Chains A and B, each alone.
Chain A
Amino acid sequence: MSLFASLKVALIALRANALRSFLAMLGVIIGVASVIVMISIATGASQAIEERIQSLGTNVLIVFPGSTRSGGRRGGAGTALALSERNADAIRRGVPGVSGVAAMLNGSASVVAGAKNWTTNIQGVNQDYVSVRNWPLLAGRNFTPADEQSAAKVTILGQTLAKELFGTTDAVGERIRIKNVPFTVIGVLTEKGQSGFGRDQDDIALMPLSTARRRVVGGDETVPDNVEMIMVQFQGAEDMEYGQEDLERLLRQTRRVQPGEADDFRIIDMAEFIRTRSEMQAILSVLLGATAAISLVVGGIGIMNIMLVSVTERTREIGLRMAVGARRRDILVQFLIEAVTLCVTGGLIGLTIGAAGALALSVWGQFPVAISPSLAVIALLSAGFVGVFFGYYPARNASRLNPIDALRYE
């Protein structure tokens, strides 16, 4: 018997008991739908994490000044607590495998453009900042060494700020006032989105470090070229692995930390930090996936049950088919195809419901969701597998019937 003919026979049999077929499928439908939703959410979450890691910049170590616990020793040692641009320069020169070093100062100020004003984050940065943060400009130009030298009153705006002040019109070349000092907008950044902690990263105005120190943040008496943090970008993941020790040694040296004394700075691998945070999420998604898999198995048992009932009910039909020439294999294939058809149809319905559910969650629940075609294929394949696995035993029972016993079955 051809596969096509078997499929036709299976469809007729399933349609004859439409409600029962549907109820039998329900387990698989729910199983597949939940698999789709769970995996979509899990994938979406891990993609979001990956994006956040990317948005921090790849292969980046962040250097902060030492914690305030070491503050009591500061005067005695004669060491400045703050990091400095000199530190940044030393890193750039002295640590192998470094591709960029961004130094930053943070503050906030009210910004005015025409009749509009907006309070935003001000960040004093050096030239490397946009490349280290993997944050290209949408329009305009980056800062130059000349801007830094002359503490030029120039600024680069984040997307949110640019929209608040200028709407859709091009901000480049416009003049704004920050803390009542007139600035020229020389560039606009691309959209960055939320940070890993939910802060809008696009609500920002960048300016040269020297300008920020003079106009917004204020200087440090002991360290005239102070910066609040330094981001060190390495060329590759391996460079970063080896570079972390070099970085530590170099900083101890340039900041004159005596042997045996604790570091007066902290080096943080942000990606590592976020990955740790995401581990919980990963465990959760494994648990959800396992639950979904269990529901698929339960659905399979439902299919097996209904197939056993179907075989018993149709014993005489099986006997007749054998009497007119059906081989055992024909009977086996017929019932196997019925089970697989039930499961794959259930899988398709479940897939549709699951995809719709995942979309609904992403739209109304603000979940990051990723639905991939490969996931759909996997879901259908696993539904088909459930059909073969749980359909085999009933189908085998059917095929092993003795023709005359089957025909006489009451």
Chain B
Amino acid sequence: MGRSGELKNEIQRPASFMPALGPALGRPSPIGQTMSGHGGAGRKKRDMNTPLLLTALVDAFSILVIFLLVQVTASQSPFDPSETIKLPQASSVDGDKQGDQSSVAVLNIENGRYILDGKAIERSMIASALKQRKANAGGEIRLVIQADESTDFDVMSPLFLSTAEAGVSKLEFAVQEVERTK
């Protein structure tokens, strides 16, 4: 074979080494067969198939699912503000979001109404309800207060008297955590 023959082989080699979907999975691809079968005219066509590595895709998806599941599990908290409440933003939040759920009472303030643990309650009844809640928990309870950032403080002021009357000293203000800006 002369020099021209060697050159021809070198030019043709990449086409013959091009991997196709069929060989990658261990059997010829029907798409590949169809394409080569209809080539006609005796001309060798360039194979348009590329291998699709599904195993890597499944791996990536699995990692994503595990990550999202862990995140969803870790983000369980007693705070569940309604859609109407826009919590104030803060950066220096305290840790221990989980804690003992049985000793947490959640008080929402929506449009001047007080909602303790999902039930609407009169302002005058807050102290007695907290006392009852404390007795049920068998000790100290934490009161989580959720209110809109635009709420006037006069709506909240009576709350402090009620908590003092009920002997609840641990108060928490639910906030939306944001990055600290320098």
| A interacts with B | no
- Which chain A residues have a beta carbon within 8 Å of chain B's beta carbons? none
Q: Which residues of B contact A (CB under 8 A)?
A: none
